[in-house]
């Protein structure tokens, strides 16, 4: 199975990069499923029903989120009606929406997509390690589902790496989001789980993690409140990765980064075949 994951889409610049480069990704990489993290899609804070439907029209199969999932209040009644829009699985019981979506490809294969959120320097949620083990009691790799992809939305590298090693051999991939900076450690762990600490942001990198740089710098230099944070609006870079799994075991063959457009060097995996 060929899984494309695209990291945090930041504002209009990120949306434009997704629209521009997703057709190229589909043509060259022939993914079976496309997943995006959309939690910063609406002016850098949250996502709306309109944007979700736009992403689906462009060819996205599932949208993950994170700590900004509720920033656009209109999403609260919508998320329960859209199984393809996920919020972290370790929110308390009774929270609207779901942290798991099982996507069925046209040929009958399935991939279970899971969204979880870390706790170090983040909101205090339920234990993501325990929540994911509970999920694995229902979704068993190579038995009840063909692949399991985990978007772990977390701040620290140590928490992301710990979760990946904890789940190694039980899920197809653990890919981190939230820090908006692509890391250079894409590899397959010893028991067969693909790992990347952070897929990076899809947005304008002539910025401070996607925010207009002058506004962000002011807060460090003056140490006082300034203008409201706004997404940078220059040319966007699409950042993500391609994970290829074994259809019999669900474990990963490979994981490779994707970086297209904007000011970062271009990185594109080899074409399918």
Each residue of 170-199: pLDDT tens digit? 999 999 999 999 999 999 999 999 999 999
pLDDT the model gives residue 141: 94
Would 268 be classed as within a structural domain? no
Dist. CA 150–CA 89, nearest whole Å:
10
Nearest residue to 142 via CA among 246, 62, 33, 243: 246
Question: Does a structural domain hold residue 75?
Answer: yes
User: Which residues are paired to 14 by β-bridges?
Assistant: none
Average pLDDT of the chain is: 95
Question: pTM to 2 decimals?
Answer: 0.95
Q: Is the pLDDT of residue 271 over 90?
A: no
* Residues pairing with 152 in the sheet: 116, 176
Whether 272 is in a domain gets the answer: no
In a domain, 273, yes or no: no
Beta partners for residue 230, in sequence order: none
> Range of 166's domain?
2-260
Q: Is the dihedral of CA 51, 120, 193, 129 positive or negative?
A: negative
Q: Has 178 been annotated as catalytic?
A: no
User: How far is 159 from 255, CA to CA, in rounded Å?
Assistant: 20
β-strand pairing of 100-104 with 110-117: antiparallel
Of residues 78, 73, 61, 89, the one with CA closest to residue 5 = 61
> Average pLDDT of 99-109?
96
Q: Is residue 271 part of a domain?
A: no
- Detail the DSSP E strand segments found in the chain: 2-6, 33-37, 62-64, 100-104, 110-117, 147-153, 173-177, 187-188, 194-196, 238-245, 252-260
Q: Which of 68, 103, 153, 178 is catalytic?
A: 68
Query: Is 179 a domain residue?
Result: yes
The count of structural domains within the chain is 1
Cβ atoms of 208 and 216 closer than 8 Å: yes
- In tens, the pLDDT along 76-102 reads 999 999 999 999 999 999 999 999 999
**Alpha helices (H) along the chain:** 11-29, 49-58, 75-79, 128-136, 157-167, 213-222
Helix (H, G, I), strand (E, B) or coil at 81: coil
Q: Using DSSP, state whether 176 is helix, strand or coil.
A: strand
Task: Identify the band that residue 273 occupies on the pLDDT scale cut at 50, 70 and 90.
Answer: low
% pLDDT > 70, the chain: 99
CATH number at residue 149: 3.60.21.10
| Tokens 């990291």 found at | 7
47 lies in a domain?
A: yes
| pLDDT one-digit tens code per residue, 136-177 | 999 999 899 999 999 999 999 999 999 999 999 999 999 999
Residue 127 lies in a domain: yes
């Amino acid at each position: 199975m060929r899984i494309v994951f695209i990291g945090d889409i930041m504002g209009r610049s990120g949306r434009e990069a997704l629209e521009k480069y997703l057709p190229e990704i589909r043509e060259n990489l022939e993914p079976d499923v496309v997943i995006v993290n959309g939690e910063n899609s609406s002016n850098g804070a949250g996502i709306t029903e309109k944007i979700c439907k736009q992403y689906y029209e462009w060819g996205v199969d599932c949208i993950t989120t994170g700590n900004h999932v509720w920033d656009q209040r209109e999403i609260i009644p919508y998320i329960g009606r859209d199984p393809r829009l996920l919020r972290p699985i370790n929110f308390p019981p009774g929270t609207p929406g779901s942290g798991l979506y099982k996507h069925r490809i046209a040929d009958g294969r399935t991939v279970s997509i899971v969204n979880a959120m870390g706790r170090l320097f983040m909101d205090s949620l339920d234990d993501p390690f325990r929540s994911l083990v509970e999920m694995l009691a229902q979704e068993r790799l190579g038995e009840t589902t063909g692949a399991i992809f985990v978007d772990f939305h977390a701040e620290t590298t140590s928490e992301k790496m710990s979760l990946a090693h904890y789940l190694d051999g039980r899920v197809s991939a653990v890919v981190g989001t939230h820090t908006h900076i692509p890391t250079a450690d894409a590899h397959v762990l010893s028991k067969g789980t693909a790992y990347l600490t952070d897929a990076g942001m899809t947005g304008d990198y002539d910025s401070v993690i996607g925010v207009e740089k002058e506004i962000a710098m002011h807060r460090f230099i003056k140490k006082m409140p300034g203008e409201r944070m706004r997404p940078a609006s220059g040319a966007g870079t699409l950042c993500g990765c391609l994970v290829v799994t074994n259809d019999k075991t669900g474990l990963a063959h490979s994981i490779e980064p994707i970086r297209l457009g904007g000011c970062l060097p271009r990185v594109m995996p080899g074409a399918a075949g």
